[in-house]
């Protein structure tokens, strides 16, 4: 596969087991907090708000320690509610503690589960968001179909992730701002992420084939709306 900066290596799938255990959850929490504190998470929040996701009950897939959803809910309407889902109980403990620290625990709930079989009824959520998780999904087509299933008609989604063809300057900047012991995981995440053409291939023929796929400096963003019958 070719890009503006030459040939892009083939995708190398990453584990779909998430970051398990309290020690890894703590390190990931510290990394995400550093990203938040430097303002680098705001771009993802801006993408979510630009997708007209500002209110209602919102599901966050692969929430990790919760910072994306928590930053979003502090900028959303007061009526907004958040449900975070992650495969790692240790991450969910972090997310719950962080929600309390933000002072929004009463507006947030966290559940353990897999994106491949979401533990929610059809049409449950007004909107769905996710960041930095898509590359970990073992079967992204199934996960995206599940996302579509739990969305109410007219609901919107915003899924962002890394992209494998990120330019070298951006890659080096991102790596430099990650703790040394987390950098190997960052590299594997880049290697397992998708490029724009692969995302369109995943979406082709699915209920999400009208999604808009946008490249941004540090990744890729998928936005759309569930059609009303």
Q: Is the pLDDT of residue 189 over 80?
A: yes
User: What's residue 5's pLDDT?
Assistant: 40
Distance CA 160, CA 127 (A): 14
User: What's residue 1's pLDDT?
Assistant: 37
Distance CA 148, CA 156 (A): 9
Q: What is the tens place of the pLDDT at every residue in 99-152?
A: 999 999 999 999 999 999 999 999 999 999 999 999 999 999 999 999 999 999
Mean of pLDDT values over 175-188: 81
Task: For the chain, give the percent of residues with pLDDT over 90.
Answer: 73
Q: Give 15 or 154, the one with higher predicted confidence.
A: 154
Q: What is the tens place of the pLDDT at every residue in 40-73?
A: 899 999 999 999 999 999 999 999 999 999 999 9
State the CATH architecture for 22-226: 3-Layer(aba) Sandwich (3.40)
User: What's residue 185's pLDDT?
Assistant: 80
Q: Is the pLDDT of residue 211 over 50?
A: yes
Distance CA 219, CA 204 (A): 20
Q: Is the pLDDT of residue 229 over 50?
A: yes
SS3 133: coil
Domain assignments of the chain as residue spans, ordered by start: 22-226
Q: What is the tens place of the pLDDT at every residue in 18-35?
A: 556 788 899 889 989 999
User: What's residue 203's pLDDT?
Assistant: 94
User: What's residue 11's pLDDT?
Assistant: 86
Residue ranges of the alpha helices (H) in the chain?
A: 22-37, 42-50, 67-75, 89-102, 140-150, 168-176, 183-192, 196-203
């Amino acid at each position: 596969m070719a890009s503006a900066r030459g040939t892009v290596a083939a995708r190398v799938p990453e584990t779909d087991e998430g970051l398990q255990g309290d020690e890894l959850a703590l390190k990931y929490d510290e990394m995400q907090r550093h990203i938040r504190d430097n303002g680098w998470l705001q771009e993802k929040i801006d993408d979510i708000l630009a997708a007209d996701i500002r209110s209602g009950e919102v599901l966050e897939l692969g929430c990790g320690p919760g910072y994306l959803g928590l930053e979003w809910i502090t900028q959303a309407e007061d009526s907004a509610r958040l449900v975070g889902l992650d495969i790692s109980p240790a991450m969910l403990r972090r997310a719950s503690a962080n929600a309390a620290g933000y002072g929004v625990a009463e507006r947030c709930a966290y559940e353990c589960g897999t994106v491949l079989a979401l533990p929610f009824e059809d049409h449950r959520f007004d909107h769905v968001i996710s960041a930095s998780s898509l590359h970990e999904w073992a079967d992204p087509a199934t996960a995206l179909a599940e996302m579509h299933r739990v969305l109410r008609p007219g609901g919107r989604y915003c899924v962002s992730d890394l992209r494998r063809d990120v330019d070298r300057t951006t890659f080096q900047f991102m790596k430099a701002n990650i703790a040394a012991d987390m950098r190997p995981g960052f590299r594997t995440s880049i290697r397992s992420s998708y490029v724009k053409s692969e995302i369109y291939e995943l979406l082709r023929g699915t209920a999400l084939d009208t999604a808009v796929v946008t490249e941004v400096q540090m990744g890729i963003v998928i936005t759309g709306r569930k059609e009303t019958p």
